[in-house]
Chain A
Amino acid sequence: MHAYVARRLWQMLPTMAGVILLVFFLFNWVGGDPAYVLAGLMSNQEQIDSIRTALGLNEPLYVQLWIFVKQVATFDFGASWTTGEPVAQLFASRLPASLTLMLPLLVIETVVCLVLAVGLSWVRGSRLDRGVMVFFTLLMSVSILVFIIVGQYLLAYRWGLFPVQGWGDGLWKNLSTYAPLPILLGLLVGVAPHTRLFRTFVLDEVDQDYVRTARAKGLSEARVMFVHVLRNALIPAWWAWRRTPDFSAPLCSTRWTRTMCVPRAPKACQRRG
């Protein structure tokens, strides 16, 4: 076991090194020179150079890269270039908001999608199953923007079920007032693809020998589906959760949090330093 863990960690190193290099060079070359933006439209070369010196941008690239590696290794990401505040603190101040949305959504979506998947597999091929699959395919074809814009307009503005936007201080206030609408819309976006995916996992299992054995033992269909089949279908489902980063992507997307005005990771965090 220890050897396994050590091996996995060892294998992680090249991946991390690759990511660090990629991020470093992306922000260096694609991001443009931040000193020009900080110095403003009116600045002259000497003023820009003094900002470059203050930011350490005049150091050779390998020195800058080494600083970045040290920051990553020690989890000390320094202070933001724009606000001067420690980046870790900026993250800490916003992370709770992201988690308040993501965790409930993750739990609700998993439960709903799994129950739907098992239920639909139970009645596989029926009109209900096909109807729901057709409906979900349609749902998947709708852009996420439509859900957000229409959802906000109808549910919040027209029907007044939720506030149009906002975020409070207390966890309970956020969970009960501000989070439900984004969570509901997240669920609407995620329910179709995930139910379809999980349904295929369940269908892979229902023809297995152990299922036939269970039925032959005289177990109820509900017990067969929700205990035997579900437990085995959870294995690929778990991998799907882990391997598809886009499961939580809608929530991290700027559009999402921008529309509902939920605090999110600051722009400054995306810069090095």
Chain B
Amino acid sequence: MLCLDFFAVHHVAPRKWALALACIASLFLGSAQAGANPADPNKVLRMAFPAAETGFDPVRVSDLYSNIVNSGIFQPLVNYNWMARPSTIVADAAEALPEVTEDGKLYTFKIRKGLYFSADPAFKGQKRELTAQDFVYTLLRHIDPKNKSPRVADLDDKIEGFAAARRQAAKEGMNYEQRHPGIYASDRYTLHIRLTRADRNFLTLLTNPYAGGMAREVVEAYGSEGTMAHPVGTGPYVLDSWVRGSKITLRANPTYPGFTWDFKPDPQHAQDIAIAARLQGRGMPQIGRVEISIIEEPQSMWLAFSGKEIDIVEMPPSFIEKALDRENRLQPVLGNAGVQMYRTVEPDIVYQFFNLRDPVIGGYTPEKIALRRAIILGYDVDEEIRVVRKGQAIRAQQMVSPVIPGHDTDYRSIVRFSPLQANALLDQFGYKKDARGYRSHPDGKPLVFTMHSSTSSVDRERDELWKKSMDRLGIRLQVKKDKFAEMLKQGKACSLSSWGLGWIGASEAEFVMGLLSSKAIGQSNYACFENAEYDREFERLRILPDGPERTQVLRNLYRIMEVYGVLGLSSTRIRTRLSHTHVDGYRAHPLVTNGWQFMDIRPSAGGEK
């Protein structure tokens, strides 16, 4: 705690008076004129990523940190409302939400007029307006095998003719001139996307920067290689400079028209209400420059924040006790220094899957189901949360995270941690213990449960917990370490017995529940679970509108999963974000990766920025 004391005395106190002045000054901020980006180049937001970015061609990257930057540069057709809970989708580069016809299969978007790409030599000095064709081009780039798009799996079976075009392009090369049956523009501002079948959550895919409009002439001017370093979009920011793996600097895009901060906060959420009260009506974006350092070491990250070298931080889990006390409240020394805290439950889910085709733990016979259920009952998730996750997670009762639409607050899992019950179940089904206390199969063969895990430190700690939990049941545990790529390969081939997986940013019940559909075997159904009743219920889930019937279908799905012992649900993370006192409106949306254009910096009277 030494560093915290120091932080309070030497770094923050001299700034308080300056901030008081800054607060007053901020009251006199003028409102923005429509049509001009109101961002102030003197308002600089300094932040850090804990992992290096890949690059800024949204079609070719899938890592979170590249996507955060890409979301600032490329403008999607639709996006999430910044404040609404549960999350709702609103128009962004589109004039309005699309018109959906042909029984939910044809989406027609009208593109907003007067949106311009940021200036680039590729435009030869001309202003270049965003058109429907730019969205067609971006989506077609995913088909082009040259781009090795990591998003193909998202789009392949959703858009009409996507997979067929991809196969054709692999054979004959990509032809961007050919009209695609599923993605086309009927005039300059009208975009059509035809789906293979009605899909409730197709729009959520289009909120991603990988579906944002890209100018073909820019991509062709810089080539496939150069586009990573020359992102040109219509979003609020443009890339200013980039030192790979070290520093990314963005500045406000002068051609971005700006908008007025006008969002309704959740009436239950005091912090959001306060943010809205301060920012409501302000011309956005305000921040004129964003400087991102890559700081991979948690100590460096924390020292950079407490030394005020960065303005905001997503607390590294290993340093969480610097920010929070035992009751998860902000450390008083930080609170006194004006540091703001924003804690959120994340839209993710961590679970352990059990392979139904594994010779040891797989199978649908009663004794195999009993074995898996005993393993799940015997694993102490609460201890994992307490020890491995340092209390920064909540126990998952269902696949859908509490911040995702479709989460059922009334649902209670039948799985409770109970070594007693687990042991009784194993005894009942004939898994006898030997002299050393380890169990064998009912047919007398020794029982060894094999689990795969990565070499990360979190996984090492989890391995210990698993060992402890399985020892309590008398089950011999063998942990196999392998490379991520190798485990993916084996997992898709149904030859991994058990592995802990996590999905971050999983946005819809349909997505997470689809992980156990038999159609996803060989793709994302790593448990290789096959159940006709589950598949039937899942097909209903895909089409049912929100309402009690859909809730019931979800409950049925959860129950089938629990009864067969397919997944041992673990937890959903809680993130703690801190900001220094001069940052205004720093919050997080569960599904929006980038909120720079919704935040502000209070000008500092001391000119420290």
Contact = CB atoms under 8 A, between A and B. Distances in A.
The judgment on whether A and B are partners is yes
A50 B170 contact: yes
A157 interface: yes
B89 interface: no
Given A44-B523, A84-B228, A258 B297 contact: yes
B62 interface: yes
Interface in B210-245: 224-229, 241, 243-245
B224 A152 contact: no
A158 interface: yes
User: Which range contains the number of B residues in contact with the other chain?
Assistant: 35 or more
B153 A40 contact: yes
Interface string A33-47: 110111111111101
Nearest to A44: B523
A259 B153 contact: no
Contacts of A82: 54-55
A225 B531 CA distance: 85
Contact of B245 (A47, A48, A50, A266): A266
A266 B485 contact: no
A165 B148 contact: no
B492 interface: yes
A263 B245 contact: yes
Interface string B499-515: 00101000000000000
Contact of B3 (A45, A51, A158, A262): A158
A54 interface: yes
Contacts of A47: 152-153, 156
Interface in B150-168: 150, 152-154, 156, 166-167
A24 interface: no
Contact of A86 (B57, B60, B225, B503): B225
Contact of B52 (A31, A32, A267): A267
A37 B492 CA distance: 12
B540 interface: no
A169 B170 CA distance: 41
Contact of B489 (A33, A84, A169): A33
Contact of B303 (A33, A38, A156): A156
Interface string B71-101: 0000000000000000000000000000000
Interface in A143-192: 149, 152-153, 156-158, 160, 163-167, 169
B309 A166 contact: yes
Given A54-B146, A94-B245, A260 B300 contact: yes
Interface string A105-124: 00000000000000000000
Interface stretch (B288-296, B368-376, B391-399, B424-432): B288-296
Interface in B42-67: 52, 54-55, 57, 60, 62
A140 interface: no
A33 B485 contact: yes
B454 to A, nearest CB: 12
A99 interface: no
A37 B485 contact: yes
B150 A38 contact: yes
A261 B246 contact: yes
A264 interface: yes
A12 B152 CA distance: 46
Contacts of A169: 241, 243
A50 B166 contact: yes
Contacts of B243: 93, 167, 169, 263
A97 interface: yes
Contacts of B406: none
A67 interface: no
Contact of B293 (A48, A93, A165): A165
A261 B294 CA distance: 7
A79 B223 CA distance: 12
A41 B300 contact: no
Nearest to B301: A165
A262 B247 CA distance: 9
B104 interface: no
B522 A261 contact: no
A152 B301 CA distance: 12
11 contacts: A36-B485, A44-B523, A79-B225, A83-B228, A85-B228, A157-B303, A165-B293, A165-B304, A166-B247, A259-B299, A259-B300
Given A42-B154, A43-B153, A47-B152, 9 more contacts: A31-B483, A32-B483, A41-B501, A48-B492, A82-B55, A152-B300, A153-B3, A258-B296, A266-B52
